[in-house]
Amino acid sequence: MTESDASRVVEFAIGGMTCAACSARLEKVLNRQTGMQANVNLAAERARVRLSAAADEAAVLAAVAKAGFSAAVVDKQTREREKAEKLQVYRRELRRFWIAVALSLPLVGQMIFMVGDHGAMNELPRWLQLALATPVQFWIGWRFYDGAFKSLRGGGANMDVLVALGTSMAWGFSTVVTVFGLNQHVYFEAGAAVITLVLLGKLLEARAKARTSEAIESLIRLQPKTARVERDGQWVDLPVDSLMPGDVFLVRPGESVPVDGELIDGESSVNESMLTGESMPVGKHVRDKVFAATTNGHGAMRCRATGVGEHTLLAGIIRMVGEAQGSKAPVQRLADQISAIFVPTVCVIALLTFAGWWWTTGLFAEALVNAVAVLVIACPCALGLATPTAIMVGTGQGARAGILVKNAEALERAEKITVLALDKTGTLTCGTPQITDVVSYGMSRQEALSLAAALESNSEHPLARAVIAAHGAGALEKADNFKALPGHGVHGKVGGRSLRLGSPAWLGLDADPAVVDLQRTGKTVVVLAEGEVVLALLAIADALRPTSRAAVERLRERGIRVVMLTGDNAATAAAIAAEAGIAEFRAGILPGDKAAAIAELKTTGGLVAMVGDGINDAPALAAADVSFAIGAGSDAAVEAADLTLIRGDLLGVVDAIDLSAATLGKIRQNLFFAFIYNVMGIPLAALGLLNPVVAGAAMAMSSVSVVSNSLLLKRWRPGR
């Protein structure tokens, strides 16, 4: 789904879903509505709905209610309100579970003493069995009848239908036998035990599902509640929500930074591990950025707020993690398709089982028991939880390691990357170029730097910042008629002189011996000229990131073809590529041509990824099958990318691919076990080899096992 001015995405908290059939049916219902495009997540209990001008929130709430579920628009208070409500419901269900245990134990316990010749003598009076089973069936088990009714009213069928139908058949048959004194065995213990065990499974599942969202909960808890703000020359403590951009705030040693800001006075070191996953503190100096929820070290910092409320980096991380956890991976489509037809199919199998056994054996009771076992064993819960629980844990672990996943589809594709294109500046290199050599002709070094810095004062290019930094703190002349030509350079008038500063090729000096000698050492050369007269050559070097070579080596070990894209000339590109251990590169690529280079790489087959950090990388990032943005880069790059690396380290790409492989591994395991469980369980029940009580226990534990398997992803760590 792509954003547009005419549409907006609204997130809803959904109540009443019990299995994959519920989420699949609700998604189908919403997508049938005019102006709605929905994605429903069973594990997160969320629906993300894209609304066009033809629909609004009220229409969504009405459609959800008609389908038999409840919904509420997610806002700041939703998460806390949901936690309180879920805790209250959990405690109520826990009480009911123990009541169900107390009522069911005598029914199940009697089975132990009924083995042997005198079994009938040890059977509880049938009226007592009816009295014990009825509250379990209709009070404790009312949730299943309610859910089944709402599901059928909405035109579908879910797990509640199977449980309600199966246990009602067992209770109804046993009640008829008891009331009319028939000479038949009763199955009160089967219905009561199934309801009790399913309820136990739901309680365990709820606890396990709560743990899948621990990552985002821990991020939310990091947000400070108050800030020490300067007001009329005085320091006052104010709620963080009241801060505005431009406010000056103080962060004392050991305190957390309340909002994003810029350091304007003081020096310190800040622990940013909650953003980047790196435990080493980061030194902070005047004009450096600080981020909300990071922890100040030894020095006091006076900062100016730049991002508050929903505009902090932490809020963006929480929002992105939430969106990713609520998104749907393509591998889930198969499970959704099966879930949509699963319950009706199971009902048909149960009916055939009943008819087949009654016809072949003539034993109504035995036929009924086997049909009940089929209904009970066939719960599709595990199928619905297999993918979303793994996605929730995987994206949460990624956020803790400084890897932000925009959507589940990107996480699924990352492990399949065959070609990785890398931008050079700010990706392979540190992104802080410095002037290393000034070769001037007829003027001093400082004069050449002054003229070049005056021209570059209006530019945001990393090379421009290097020129200005080399000039120093002195005043700069004004540049008139300034114009930047992307991929070439800049020109303008400084002190009445018409100057150009740009690439040697633009000025016809790409074959000049002095230029070539500098380029062979891996330096980028820019030429300062007045008309056709060369005034100076400026050599600029951007050091390779310390981890880039190791990252490239790890990528190559995974069988990934690494290609460097750069606007530098071939000699400079070759030197940098050799230093990084990259065998293939594309040199002299203009910013607008990077997307074309990605398209060309895609023609060779396989899945192509792109890593970049600048505004000029955004088109290429959008063109790639999977895209990574270095977090320290521009907002445009981060917005265009599928995964954002907060740490700003190329090793983060390797870690993201490893995380993708680990998450997809868990999804495949979950789906395998969910399918195998039903593929084996239903035939066993149909053949009469599975008691309904055992079927109930197996069904209850299947969902718990899938969620627990997903939680094993919490062991994943970057760099392994």
Under a CB-based contact definition with an 8 Å cutoff, are residues 710 and 214 in contact?
no
3-class DSSP string for 654-691: HHHHHHHHHHHHHHHHHHHHHHHHHHHHHHHHHCCCCC
CA 279 from chain centre, in angstroms, equals: 23
**Nearest-angstrom CA–CA distance, 610 and 618:** 10
Q: List, as one string, the DSSP characters of 122-187.
A: GSPPHHHHHHHHHHIIIIITHHHHHHHHHHHHTT---HHHHHHHHHHHHHHHHHHHHHHT-SS---
Q: What are phi and psi of 209, to 5 degrees?
A: -65, -35
**Nearest-angstrom CA–CA distance, 596 and 63:** 44
**Nearest-angstrom CA–CA distance, 233 and 469:** 34
- CA angle at residue 341 from 20 to 374, to 5 degrees? 85
Our separate counts of H helices and E strands in the chain read 24, 26
**Nearest-angstrom CA–CA distance, 495 and 497:** 5
Q: Which residues pair with 268 in a beta bridge?
A: 284
**Nearest-angstrom CA–CA distance, 51 and 131:** 51
Under a CB-based contact definition with an 8 Å cutoff, are residues 235 and 276 in contact?
no
Tokens of 21: 């059939």
The rounded radius of gyration (Å) of the Cα atoms in the chain is 33
Under a CB-based contact definition with an 8 Å cutoff, are residues 674 and 334 in contact?
no
| Residues that are catalytic | 423
**Contact partners, residue 517, CB within 8 Å, separation at least 6:** none
Q: Which residues pair with 536 in a beta bridge?
A: 440, 528
Under a CB-based contact definition with an 8 Å cutoff, are residues 349 and 431 in contact?
no
Q: Long-range contacts of range 698-702, CB-CB < 8 Å, 24 or more positions apart?
A: 698/377, 699/197, 699/198, 699/201, 699/376, 699/377, 699/378, 699/379, 699/381, 700/197, 700/198, 700/200, 700/201, 700/202, 700/204, 701/201, 702/201, 702/379, 702/381, 702/382, 702/673, 702/674, 702/677
Tokens of 503: 């690439």
Q: Which residue has the tokens 């940098």?
A: 576
Beta-strand ranges (E) seen in 397-446 are 403-405, 417-423, 434-440
DSSP single-letter state for residue 257: P
